[in-house]
Structure 1
Amino acid sequence: MSTSVRSVSAGAAVDEAMLLLSTHRITSLPVVDGGAGVDGRVVGILSEADVLRHVMSGDPRASLRPVTSRAPAARVVRELMTAEPYLTRPGADVREVADAMLAHGWKSVPVVDAGALVGVLSRSDVVRALSRGDEAIAADLAEAYASIGRASWQVRVDAGVAQVTGPVTAAEQAIARSSGLAVLGVRDVVCPDAVS
């Protein structure tokens, strides 16, 4: 997640937002109430696609066919933005966010905490999170198991596959699997001590 977030006020001029998008080479801007900046409440999102749809539809030079009617030019971001965008929060399940991004073709998603903008999660952030090393995954697994009273379980991770020594019963296996698969980067959980 990037915490050096560019955002724009809903009342800002469209030209100002276009300049922010192009200058900072970003594909979308969270739209906040009041002034721009982190800590504002997110009320929308303005993407390059929103801008292009509006600019190209109203510019007769953008079409080979004559434009018979022209939509009034949007003057402020509020008129172009997508209201009530998908938002995520710190600590959210990255897989769920990635699924939503893929399903809708989004390149980034605003991150909010208690309603305030605290960052933006991009597809490249998700890829980095999913490509964590086995040692980091094993440490997170051990912490997750300790938090549910299973600190005695031993964990080894190889290529994202966790081998958990300790769970014996079917119920313990189910706990090991469900808790383990919730850890980012875990592809599978195997319990070699399981009793059939």
Structure 2
Amino acid sequence: MRASEIMTSPAVATTPDTPVREAVALLIERGFAGLPVVDTEGKVVGTFTEFDALRRAWSGGNGIMVGELMTTPVEVVSPKTDVAEIGRRMLGDRLRCLPVVEEGVLVGVVSRRDLLRPLVRPDDTVAAHVHNLLSDYAGHRPRWSVSVDGGYVQISGEYRDEAERRVLDALARTVPGVVAVVLTGRKPAKT
């Protein structure tokens, strides 16, 4: 698998003459760990990361521009770079994202999240969401197990009564990607 298959494109970037406050707002708004910094031709000249933003927070003063705090030199990869190599570089250098350039121009970004995404099937994501909803409902006490295959959710375990069974079914159906819900299990024995 290559960078071009997992990268986020088009990339969101900033420029050296962007005020730091604007770049920080973009980091927060988009949930990014870092932004490529590009010149007027779209060539990557640095990165602006959460770390760089935190340095600004403690340095004081307004009117600071991204170019004053950005990290240089910047590591980049090509669209043809193997994802295993990207993973090694990110782990070895503790990078949170790598700009992807073609002929020197920014074409995308690979983040840690992009590297993880191929490891998770859509069913895994659905199962995690259903499990979290049921865990919240149960007060974070493990009461049910969840499995998903092709969007078909199976919830196993004990339930108090038919009303609770309907609640579990309704909660699971709120998760995007759920095709159908099957509840297996029984009411607990009365003592």
TM above 0.5, one fold?
yes
Look up the match of 2:43: 41
**1:40 partner letter:** G
Cα distance between partner residues in 2 of 1:81 and 1:94: 25
Q: Percent identity?
A: 38
For 1:129 and 1:13, the matched residues in 2 are separated by: 35
Letter of the 2:55 counterpart: R
Cα 1:76/1:51, change in 2 over 3 Å:
same
- CA distances 1:61-104 after superposition (whole Å, capped 9, x unpaired): xxxxxxxxxxx656111000002211001010211111110112
Query: 1:127: Cα distance to partner?
Result: 2.3
Structure-1 residue corresponding to 2:15: 9
1:75 matched to 2:77: no
Equivalent residues, number: 115
Is 1:54 paired with 2:56?
yes
Q: Report SS of the residue matched to 1:8.
A: coil
* C-alpha deviation, 1:4, in angstroms: 3.1
**Aligned ranges for residues 1-196 of structure 1 at < 5 Å?**
1-34=7-40, 40-56=42-58, 58-59=59-60, 75-129=64-118
1:130 Cα deviation (Å)?
5.5
Quote the Cα distance in structure 2 between the aligned partners of 1:102 and 1:74. Answer: 34
Tell me if the contact between 1:43 and 1:83 (Cα under 8 Å) persists in the aligned partners.
yes
- Give, as a single letter, the amino acid of the residue that structure 2 aligns with 1:128: R
Which consecutive aligned stretches of 4+ in structure 1 deviate over 6 angstroms post-superposition? Answer: none
Rounded to whole Å, the distance in 2 between the matches of 1:110 and 1:7 is 10
- Counterpart residue type for residue 87 of structure 2: A
Name the SS of the counterpart of 2:86 in structure 1.
helix
Question: Aligned to 1:43, what secondary structure does the other structure show?
Answer: strand
1:131 deviates by 6.4
CA contact (8 A) 1:7 1:30 kept: yes
Report the residue type matching 1:78 in the other structure: G
SS in 2 for 1:83: coil
State the distance in 2 between where 1:6 and 1:75 align. Answer: 20
In structure 2, list runs of 5 or more residues that go unmatched: 1-6, 122-191
Q: CA RMSD in A?
A: 2.0
Q: What is residue 175 of structure 1 aligned with on the other side?
A: none
Cα distance in 2, alignment partners of residues 4 and 113 from structure 1: 13
Find the residue that maps to 1:16 and give its secondary structure. helix
